Structure formats: C-alpha cells, structure tokens
Amino acid sequence: MKRILLAAFFISNILYSQEKIIDTVQGTKQNLDEVIINGIRAKFSSPISYSNIYNEKLKNKNLGQDLPILLNFLPSVVTTSDAGAGIGYTGIRVRGVSPQSTNITINGIPFNDPESMGTFWVNLPDFTSSVQSLQLQRGIGTSTNGSGAFGASINILTDNISQTPYAEISSSFGSFNTRKNTIKFSTGKINDFFEFSGRFSKIDSDGYVDRAFSDLKSYFIQGTYLKGSTLIKAISFAGHEKTYQSWYGLTMDQLKENRRQNPYTYENEIDNYKQDHYQLHWNEKINNFWSFNLGLNYTYGRGYFEQFREDDNLDTYGGIVSSDTNSNGEKTDTTDLIRRRWLDNDFYVFNSSLNFVKNKIDLTISSSYSSYFGDHFGEVIWARTFSSNGKIRDRYYEGLGEKKDLSFFTKLLYSIDKKIEFYSDLQYRNVKYNTSGTTSDLVNMVIDKSYGFFNPKIGLSYKLNPNSLLYVSYARANREPNRTDYESNPDIRPERLNDIEFGWRLRNKKMSLNLNSYFMLYDEQLILTGEIDDVGNPIRTNSGSSYRIGLEIENRINISELFSFETNLTLSSNKNKNIFSMVDGALYNYGKTNISFSPSFVGSNAIIYQPSEKIILSLLSKFVGKQYMGNTDQPNSILESYFVNDLNITYSLQPEKIFQSITINFLINNIFNKEYISNGYYYTYDDTWSFPGQIKTLDGAGYYPQATRNFLAGLVFEF
C-alpha cells in the first residue's frame, strides 16, 4: 500500500506538468564558454535522456555538501555518504550503475581516475561554487572523453566570463560542527578583452558518524581572454582533503547499539590527499560555419591512507618488521604497526574538436588522448620492532600503473526534413594498460592489456510540433576493467552494453515533460559483488548476461504564480540472468537474480512556494526502494527502502548600500528524523572451524547509517 500511495502521489503531479524552460545549450545562440563542451552535450532534439542543472538552482542548497548530494533529486539517482552527512566521501549511482561506470568531465576533460575509474568528489571540495551548469545524461549518452559511460555521464561547465566586476563572501554552519567559508571574485572585463576570477573555500565537519571528520580546502582560479571570435581560458583548481575513515561501516548489532559509532579508534586513521588541476582551452570561430576547440590538461595527485594494524602478519611486509613477543615471552609471527598506503600520479589530456553547422547539418569531429602514470607504494612509519634489514618509511610494496587512452568520434545531426532529424555518433577508442611491481598484499601484478572498442550510436527524432518530439536511439558501448578488477581476478573481461531508448519530450513556456523508456542489455557487465577490499574499494565481477529495463518520468508543474511542483519517477527491472556462486564448497546456480544496488523504484518530489521574488520555500522528498547489496537475493543483503524529506528556505535582500544582495539559505535535512541506510556492503565466506571436515558458507554485511534530522544555514554577501 505504501508503494501504491507513493506512486499515486508522484503520478498525480505528472498529469498536470508545466514548466518554464531556459535551455541555453539547446537550439539557441550559444556563447563561447558553452562551445567548450558543445561536442559532448545533448541537445533538445538529441535522442538522449538527460537533465540540465544551472548554477542558480545549485546555489540555494550549496551549504557545504558535496556535488553528488546536491544532485540527489534528479531522475534515477541514488546518493551515498560514508560519514552520513553528505560531506567527505560521497557517491552517486544512476540507474543502479556504480560510480566506476559513470563518466565525469570538467570542461570536456575527464575527471574519473583512469585506473580505478572512480570519481572522488572529496578531492574537489566546494566545487559546486564554480559550476556554471552541468548535464547528467542517463544511459550511454553521447560520445565523451575518457572512459565510456555505462549508466550515466555528467559533464560540467565551470564559471562563465563575468562582464562586470563582483565579489562574494559566503559562510554557512550547521549540525555536526559543520562550517563552510567561501570567497569569490571577478575583475569583470578589463580593456574589453581580459577577465580574472577566482574562489577560495574551506569546509570543516565532524560528520554524523563519530570522529568521521572532514578538513577540506580548495581553490579555483581562471584567466580569460576574449576578443571577437577567439576565446582562451587558463584554469587552475585544486583540493586538499583530510578525512577520518568511516568506510568500514557497522554491523547490524552495532547499528542497534549505537548507529553513530565508529569502529576505528586510532587517532590518525585518515585519508590525506591533494589533487591539482591545470587546464588550457582555446576556442576559435573560423567563420559562420566552422569552429574548433583545443583543450589541454595536467592533473597531479598525491596522498596516502594511514592505518594502525594490530597483530598484523609479518609476511605482509617483506622482512621490514621483525617478530614480536607475546605475554609468555615467546616470539610471534605478528606485530603492531602503523602503515601508509600511497598513490602518486600524473594525468595528461589533449582534446580537440572541429564543428561545422550549415543548413541541415551539424557535424562534430573530435579526438582525445590521455596518458596516466600511477605509483602505488606502502610505507611502515612505526612498528614495535623493525628487522635488521628495515627502517622507518621503507617501502614494503611498490607497483606502477600506466594507462594510455586514444579516442575519436564523429557526431552528426542531419535534418531530413522539417520534422525528422537523424542522429549518428561513431566512436573508436583504443586503451592500453600496463602494470608492474606488486600489490599491497605482495602479490606480483604484471598486466599488459590493449583494447580496441568501436562504440556506435544512431537515432531518429520526430517533431510533433515546434515544442514536442518523439525519439528513438540505439547505442553500443564497451568498457575495460579497472585496477581493482584485475587485482581480484586477472582473467576478468571487458563489459559490453547495448542500449535502446524511446522517449517523448515536450517543452514550451508553460510545460515541460520528459518520458523515457530504456532497455540496457549487457554482456559480461562488471557488477558490484557487494564486497569491498581492505581500503574500501568495491569489488566487481563479470555477470554474463544481464539487463536493466525501465521507465523514467520527469516534469514540473506550475500550479499558480505561487506554487509549483517538480517530480521525477523511475520504475525498473534490473536482473542477472544466471548467477553462480560457491555454496558449502560447491558451485551453485542461483538463476535470475536482482542486480546489486539497483532499486526498482526511485522517485523525487519538490513542492515549491514562492510568495515573492525575495523568498522561496521548497519541500524536497526522496523515495528509494529496496536494494540488494549482493547478487544472490539473500535476506542478509537487503537495504530496506527509505523515504526522506528536506526543507529548503531561501530569502534574498537587495540593500541600497554596500551590498548588491544578501541571501539567507536554510536547509533542514531529513525533517521527519528518519533512521535510514543508503549504502553498505555484503560478503560471503567459507568457515571450516565450526564444521570440522566440511565447508559451510556464511555471510555478513556492513552498513553506512545516514544522518537523522540536521540543519545547515548560510549567508551570502554579494558586492
């Protein structure tokens, strides 16, 4: 009954949808900033399921939480937070697909870590304050730069040029001793050609989970030259994060005892990482038909994860530490120590694109090349006893990873007549991945892989009228395994996806409605097993044949000049066709099962009340259906459904002196104090101790509790 009532609530809003749409990327005159990402963004007529978000909407909730949390109310989205309050390590899943399969670009430059393919938003704290707009594409989407999208892609455009000078100071505070301070500025146009702008941010939070603190710093600096048809942008942005670990989660018994406890007790069990990004973009409009764009990037990352290890096995450290003695004075093969696991990496990217637009043709030819070098190593920074061959900071393992990625794509939009538009997007991608050295478990890791992927996409759109169209598309994508995949299974295989989408899109000044159905058919999909390794990385495995089939609905309703509704709903079926697993020492076929972390029902709703231009009140609701953390439909692997509500209040003033505007933002998260869990992990293991002479398969789970009722409040002063 609960699901029926929720569905009725969402669908009732859909039936009367109205929205005022401003879609600057679609079909209107673009400024040169937008052309930087034009080649990878979908347009109104593109047969792609997507949502656009602009900085005006992000500002109202930007009080310190990471960008994924601010995207929580988009269609098919589920977000997670290790520390429970949306600050620190956070994640986003779209259509149930893991973050490793979501492609992220910033100004067309890949942001995903090339080896893990993950996206660590904690490395760019408060990046939302420098986002001009973003587009979330669901499914394969358009061809993009970097690793292919297997569930979604998010392409971000950073701040546009400001014509006039400004300064902005914002501060916020809230529950769990959360504090955010940001300074932004722009010189405006200098001599009609130059502009210089920047941002500096500092965020601190103790976290909902005990001691899961975040100490975050970041900056964003941009210099721009704009003259006639030439745009040159030099951008530098960076983040430095220190977070106390909370990725281990809690058992069910620990949750019942105290859902805010943290099993870690070592005072410096932290992640300490810095990441610097440098980008250079040059866009040139050659004439009325031709334009090109060049992009260069260098990213430098370095940092470590520090751990205290009690009674750790000496064999793990290659002779650096020596045996300890027990209470009886006997030598043991274990000792206490503190270790750091380091990652030091360099990432280079070169992008280019050429665009031709004339009459019925919109053609883009693009290329991208990237080169990544990663140095993985571990140090022992303290031990009860070092061996004669070891000393502090000796490396007990070291492994190198090198990845090169070359891709080309051509995208064509061709108007067959006034109603029918043909879409073609053909990409070839060549990936080379090599490793040497050992893993953190002192296992040799020598990989030499080369992949060549052809990823075609075609589609048709049919205009019912100037504001409404139907579309259909077919797309294929291939994707290579990541480093953790190879560590868990050297014989792991690439995954392939065939994605078929049908949709209806309606937009005008009074109404906006998007309906999209998808059929995602996988071969050897790299699904999450539910397990994590000893530093929190998710473990994946090939699943043979699997599929995701669903319906997405997105809309907005203007009830009156005062009230509006925003609603989205996703209904889906996500299945593995045959799953095999070891049970009591024998291989067992579970048959058709649910894909891990893939709820069949996800919906969001916003009731917005705006009595004047000065004040906006929004009640935001989110429902996520039941999920399985594993792929064998075991009761112990269930994450129960949850329904949470937030209240957002924004009040703006325009003083006559000193300040151009003063904005007060207030956000109450989880206003009904719901105790819920959005993420976790699940594992099985064979136990022979309790069952002498036989193997008995047991299971366990860990959970990440999310914050109960909490608040954030902020002030923004604009000069």
pLDDT at 577 over 80: yes
Instruction: Read off the CATH number of the domain in which 436 is found.
Output: 2.40.170.20
- Cα–Cα distance for residue pair 159/130, rounded to 1 Å: 5
Question: What pLDDT, on the 0 to 100 scale, is given for residue 8?
Answer: 39
Tokens representing residue 296 in the block = 């260069």
Q: Which residue range forms the structural domain that includes residue 428?
A: 2-718
Place of tokens 């940092």: 303
Confidence label for 533 from pLDDT (cuts 50, 70 and 90): confident
DSSP state, 511?
Answer: -
Cβ atoms of 437 and 382 closer than 8 Å: no
Tokens representing residue 532 in the block = 């994590």
pLDDT at 22 over 50: no
Q: What residues pair up with 666 in beta bridges, in sequence order? A: 649, 713
Task: Give per-residue pLDDT as tens, 167-197.
Answer: 999 999 999 999 999 999 999 999 989 999 9
Average pLDDT over residues 164-168: 94
Of the candidates 530, 83, 65, 80, the one whose C-alpha atom is nearest the C-alpha of residue 262 is 83
More confident residue, 690 or 466: 466
Cβ atoms of 242 and 272 closer than 8 Å: yes
- Cα–Cα distance for residue pair 583/697, rounded to 1 Å: 6
Helix, strand and coil in the chain, % to nearest 5:
10, 60, 35
Return left, alpha or beta for 211; rule: phi > 0 is left, psi -120 to 50 is alpha, else beta: left
pLDDT at 31 over 70: no
When the pLDDT of each residue in the chain is averaged and rounded to a whole number, the result is 88
Task: Give per-residue pLDDT as tens, 4-13.
Answer: 334 433 433 3
Place of tokens 């220190």: 242
Question: What pLDDT, on the 0 to 100 scale, is given for residue 559?
Answer: 83
Question: What pLDDT, on the 0 to 100 scale, is given for residue 546?
Answer: 95
More confident residue, 387 or 25: 387
Average pLDDT over residues 250-262: 92
- Cα–Cα distance for residue pair 455/239, rounded to 1 Å: 34
Task: Give per-residue pLDDT as tens, 381-408.
Answer: 998 877 767 788 889 999 999 999 999 9
Question: What pLDDT, on the 0 to 100 scale, is given for residue 80?
Answer: 94
SS3 192: coil
3-class DSSP string for 223-271 = EEEEECCEEEEEEEEEEEEEEECCCCCECHHHHHHCCCCCCCCCCCCEE
Question: Residue 196 half-sphere exposure, CB side, CA atoms within 13 Å?
Answer: 2
Cβ atoms of 660 and 694 closer than 8 Å: no
- Cα–Cα distance for residue pair 388/311, rounded to 1 Å: 20
Cα angle 256, 261, 267 (rounded to 5 degrees) comes to 160
Task: Give per-residue pLDDT as tens, 49-78.
Answer: 999 999 988 988 899 999 999 999 999 999
Confidence label for 98 from pLDDT (cuts 50, 70 and 90): confident
Question: What pLDDT, on the 0 to 100 scale, is given for residue 25?
Answer: 33
- Cα–Cα distance for residue pair 502/47, rounded to 1 Å: 8
**668, amino acid identity:** I
Task: Give per-residue pLDDT as tens, 286-317.
Answer: 998 999 999 999 999 999 999 999 888 888 88
- Cα–Cα distance for residue pair 23/461, rounded to 1 Å: 18
pLDDT at 20 over 60: no
Question: What pLDDT, on the 0 to 100 scale, is given for residue 582?
Answer: 64
pTM of the model: 0.91
Phi, psi of 637 (to 5 degrees): -100, 10
Task: Go through the chain and tell me how many residues it has.
Answer: 719
**360, amino acid identity:** K
Phi, psi of 214 (to 5 degrees): -130, 130
Q: Would the CA dihedral through 625, 628, 632, 633 be positive or negative?
A: negative
Number of neighbouring beta carbons within 10 Å of residue 184 = 21
Cα angle 511, 514, 516 (rounded to 5 degrees) comes to 165
Tokens representing residue 464 in the block = 């019912």
SS3 636: helix
Cβ atoms of 24 and 34 closer than 8 Å: yes
Domain count, the chain: 1
Cα angle 496, 497, 502 (rounded to 5 degrees) comes to 170
Cβ atoms of 342 and 273 closer than 8 Å: no
pLDDT at 696 over 70: no
pLDDT at 697 over 90: no
Place of tokens 């045959």: 578
CA R_g for the chain: 26
pLDDT at 606 over 80: yes
Q: Cα–Cα distances in Å, from 514 out to 44, 155, 374, 718?
A: 11, 20, 42, 36
Share of the chain above pLDDT 70, in %: 91
Confidence label for 642 from pLDDT (cuts 50, 70 and 90): very high
Phi, psi of 495 (to 5 degrees): -110, 155
Question: What pLDDT, on the 0 to 100 scale, is given for residue 52?
Answer: 92
Task: Give per-residue pLDDT as tens, 478-499.
Answer: 999 999 999 989 999 999 999 9
Question: What pLDDT, on the 0 to 100 scale, is given for residue 73?
Answer: 94
Average pLDDT over residues 340-360: 94
Helices (H) then strands (E): counts for the chain: 6, 36
Please give the span between the terminal C-alpha atoms of the chain, in angstroms, as a whole number. 52
